[in-house]
Amino acid sequence: MILRLAFRNIINNGWRSLINVVVISIVLIIMVWMQAMYYSWIRLAEIQQSEWEYGEGMLRVRAYDPYDAFSFEDSYAPVPGELKPGIESGEVVPVLLAPASIYPQGRMMGAIVKGMPQQQNILSFPSHRLESGSSDLTPVVIGQAMAKSSRLEAGDVFTIRIRDISGAYNAIDAIVDTVLFIPAPTADVGTVWLNLAELQRIRGAEDMASYFVFDDGKYRSFSNQDFRYIDRDEYFADLYQMLANERFQQVLMYALLVFLAMIAVFDTQALAVFKRRREIGTLAALGFTKGRIALLFTLEGTLYTMFAFILTPILGFPLFWYFASIGFRIPKGYDDFAIQGMTDTIRFTYPMHEIAIVFLIILAFTAIVSWLPTRRIARLNPVDALRGKVN
């Protein structure tokens, strides 16, 4: 009965109710949009990094620290015998990396050269392009970001100078076979890809690798003195850390939006308690306890949010649809920052469980904010109320 009464009161409130519902709905649309953006960004980054670099697991040489360029020179170790059957069967992809200097058009720049077997099916990388032909030039593949920074194009010839593992300089002439769109920045920025056997030869590191990529978690427990397993949490640690920082800003934004919406609800409720004091008195005279009257007002406030839940998908549909189908891409120029997951168009997916939590939180806040002004009712004398007096 209270629910029916509350529903009728909201409808009778007319424009005032509609404004509240629309305000809450707009707040919810923004919150859902932000939630979907962060969720889709991280999901895309995870997919891209897995497809292009991590696979379903990675075994990395202990000396290698991707954040310490000084460690690259010593980032190699013999391929463990236990992995060789996996390499032959295609379950394991060995990758060797080395710091190098490249000379595109006679300019010197630092680069990381990575060697990958020309036959592998775990990563999306078209490694068959690394097959050496009859020419003396070593074919290499680079990503678009690398092409941009080095001003190299497909067909360009340049020299790669590298130190072998004993410290002597070696140099080869290479030809850019393909410039690829590589969505994983760590496999693109500053990186030149060439055939593993060729890199092992010029580096004097036969049968050595820097890391291995797997297509499942079979080698999760593998560890030896040279290599250790890198789980997803460790591999994506920087991405998750970046997300955590963004989340903090997101929470601040949420708090501001919710605060604004709740002010609207609180204001409406406070005004309602004042304007409807005769009604409160009548209800009390009819036998409504103060608690039930407070419940009625709280329900009315909460119903705004319930209506907003219904209105949100209707109002937000064009926006939600646009970002789900057309997507969001960071403006040109900003993609130079090479942030994981932001190299490609982010098409939004809407995480229903996270959105449901957001809705519940908003519901709880609305209930509290709707209840706060009704505390006056507890102090109300029904006779005074009938006379139109509120303390």
Partner 1 sequence: MKKLFSLIMLMPLLVCAQNITADEIVRAVDRNMITRTSKANVRMTVHSRRASRTMEMISYSQGNDEAFSEYLSPPREKGTKMLKLGDDLWIYDPGTDRSIQISGNMLKQSVMGSDLSYEDMMEETHLLENYQAELKGEIKYDGRECWIIELKAKSSGVSYFKRKAYIDKERYVALYEEWYAKSGKLLKTIKASEVKRVSNRWYPTKMVFKDELKQGKGTEYIIDSIEIDLTLPAHIFSKAMLKK
Nearest residue (CB) to partner 1, 127 versus 150: 150
**From candidates 36, 45, 93, 202, binder to partner 1 by CB under 8 A:** 202
* Helix pair 15-49, 352-371: axis angle to 10 deg: 150
User: Is 64 a binder of partner 1 (CB under 8 A)?
Assistant: no
Beta strands in the chain (DSSP E): 57-61, 77-78, 92-103, 109-116, 138-143, 157-163, 169-180, 191-195, 208-209, 211-214, 227-230
167 makes contact with partner 1 (CB under 8 A): yes
User: How far are the Cα atoms of 142, 290, 306 from residue 328, in angstroms, in the given order?
Assistant: 25, 51, 30
Q: Is 361 in the site for partner 1 (CB under 8 A)?
A: no
CA–CA separation, 258 and 237 (whole Å): 30
List 3, 8, 11, 73, residue binding partner 1 (CB under 8 A): 73
25 Cβ contact partners less than 8 Å away, ≥ 6 residues apart = 308, 311, 312, 315, 316
Stretches 15-23, 107-115, 234-242, 247-255: which one binds partner 1 (CB under 8 A)? 107-115
Asked if 71 touches partner 1 (CB under 8 A), the answer is yes
* Residue 329 interacts with partner 1 (CB under 8 A): yes or no: no
Nearer residue to partner 1 within complex by CB, 105 or 121: 105
**Cβ 305 to partner 1, closest distance in Å?**
55
Closest to partner 1 by CB, 85 or 110? 110
Taking CB under 8 A as the criterion, the residue among 14, 88, 128, 168 binding partner 1 is 168
Least distance to partner 1, CB of residue 68, Å: 8
275: burial class by Cβ within 10 Å (0-12, 13-18, 19+)?
exposed
Pick 107 or 247: Cβ nearer partner 1 = 107
Which candidate, 26, 12, 43, 55, places its Cα nearest to that of 305? 26
The residue (of 103 and 229) whose beta carbon lies closer to partner 1 is: 103
Considering the rule CB under 8 A, would residue 229 count as an interface residue with partner 1?
no
Contacts of 362 (CB under 8 A, 6+ apart): 24, 27, 28, 31, 258, 261, 305, 308
Interface residues toward partner 1, by CB under 8 A: 69-73, 99, 101, 103, 105-108, 110, 159, 161, 163-164, 166-173, 202, 204
